[in-house]
Amino acid sequence: MIDVPVSATRPPSANRSTAGRRILGLHAWLTYIFLYAPIVILVLFSFTTDTFGVRWTGFTIDWYLRLARDTRMINATVNTLWVALVATIISTVCGTLLALAMERYRFRGRNGMDALLYLPIVIPEIVMALALLAFFSFAFGLLESLTGIKLRMNIWTVIVSHVAFCISFVVVVVRASLKGFDMRLEEAGADLGADPQTIFWRITLPLIMPGVIGGALLAFTLSLDDFIISFFTVGPGTNLLPVEVYGRVKRAITPSINAISTIMLVVSMALVFLSQFVQRQRD
């Protein structure tokens, strides 16, 4: 999403140690402490014996064991993973195809499509969430009055909605990887008699694969972490992890929430490692 150059040249003045540099260093230290202190405290207090989960009174893993027996939470976790998986697959396929169309072809309405693709990234998430809620309610109402079939919002309305906001992010990432693509490789393939399908599967796709995986990882993380759109499109019958956590947090702080939050944190960290690894491969 954000193009961060990993191997930029280092400024020549970097080694100079001055008062200014020291102040910058101190500021950086304090900022990192600000960023990490809450995370460390959260992890620490998932192991505390304090039943309110806000101070250190001793070590226990009891809260994790309780989570393992918490069927509501487990059910919510399974649902969330399923949503993220399906949404990632659909948005990665659609997004990669769209990226190819946008980078390779000139067609009427291309500028409009470009703008449309950026819109889900820049409009406030809550507006998109409410729009989807209104849409499903309107569409289901219309369907019922026309055919008598009753549909309700469930896990599929969440998946559909997640795909709608993930596509744009996949397109941005895959397009970036298509920018530096050497078209001569495809021409060489064609000259050697490969048909378009062979060229796509044997040349194009393998070369843009790091971008596609990067886009998929981004979509997976976005879907896994999304709260606002899930909250409005899930309907009363289905349970999703962020929505369940939000509901419990509203009631009270408990060490069990500290524990599930810690697990979510660890999963996010694993995904960062993975995405960094993929990016290294790309460079």
Partner 1 sequence: MTVVAPDETPLAHQRQQRLRLWLLLAPGALWLFFFFVLPLLIVMLYSFATPGPTGNVIWQFNFDSYITLIGKDLYFNAYYRSLWVGLQTTVICLLVGYPLALYMTLAEPKQRNLLLFLVLIPFWTNFLVRTYAWMIILSNNGLINDLLQWLGFAKQLLYPSAGAVLVGLIYGNLPFMVLPLFASLARFDFTLMEASADLGAGRWRSFWRIMFPLTVPGVVAGSVLVFIPTVGQFVVSDLLGGSKVDLLGNLLQRLFTRSNPPNWPLGSALALVFMFVLTLIVIIYFRTTTEEDR
Q: Please report, as residue ranges, which positions from 119 to 178 form the binding site for partner 1 (by CB under 8 A).
A: 119-120, 122-128, 130-135, 138, 160-161, 163-165, 167-168, 171
Stretch that binds partner 1, among 18-26, 144-152, 178-186, 206-214 (CB under 8 A): 18-26
Stretch that binds partner 1, among 64-72, 145-153, 205-213, 257-265 (CB under 8 A): 257-265
Binding flag, residue 228, partner 1 (CB under 8 A): yes
Alpha-carbon distance 236 to 225, whole Å? 20
Query: Closer CB to partner 1, residue 45 or residue 210?
Result: 45
Binding flag, residue 276, partner 1 (CB under 8 A): yes
Near partner 1 in 56-115, by CB under 8 A: 90, 93-95, 97-98, 100-101, 105, 107, 113
CB-based contact 102:175 (threshold 8 Å) = yes
Q: How far is the CB of 191 from partner 1 (least distance, A)?
A: 11
Query: Closer CB to partner 1, residue 54 or residue 74?
Result: 54
- Residues touching partner 1, count (CB under 8 A): 96
DSSP letters, 267-280, are HHHHHHHHHHHHHH
Binding flag, residue 234, partner 1 (CB under 8 A): no
Query: Closer CB to partner 1, residue 41 or residue 65?
Result: 41
According to CB under 8 A, which one of 68, 114, 196, 281 is a site residue for partner 1? 196
Q: In a 3-state reduction of DSSP, which class is residue 59?
A: strand
According to CB under 8 A, which one of 13, 71, 111, 147 is a site residue for partner 1? 13
Binding flag, residue 47, partner 1 (CB under 8 A): no
Binding flag, residue 249, partner 1 (CB under 8 A): yes
Phi, psi of 224 (to 5 degrees): -60, -40
Q: How far is the CB of 183 from partner 1 (least distance, A)?
A: 15
CA neighbours within 13 Å on the CB side: how many for 262?
20
Please name the residues in contact with 186: beta carbons below 8 A apart, sequence gap of 6 or more. 199, 203, 204
Q: How far is the CB of 68 from partner 1 (least distance, A)?
A: 19
At which residue do the structure tokens 């599930």 appear?
260
Please name the residues in contact with 150: beta carbons below 8 A apart, sequence gap of 6 or more. 140, 144
Q: How far is the CB of 33 from partner 1 (least distance, A)?
A: 11
Q: How far is the CB of 110 from partner 1 (least distance, A)?
A: 10
Binding flag, residue 31, partner 1 (CB under 8 A): yes
- Structure tokens, 134: 């209104």
Binding flag, residue 257, partner 1 (CB under 8 A): yes
Alpha-carbon distance 85 to 143, whole Å? 28
Alpha-carbon distance 27 to 43, whole Å? 25
Please name the residues in contact with 11: beta carbons below 8 A apart, sequence gap of 6 or more. none
Nearest to 120 by CA among 170, 168, 88, 84: 168
- Structure tokens, 161: 């909605």
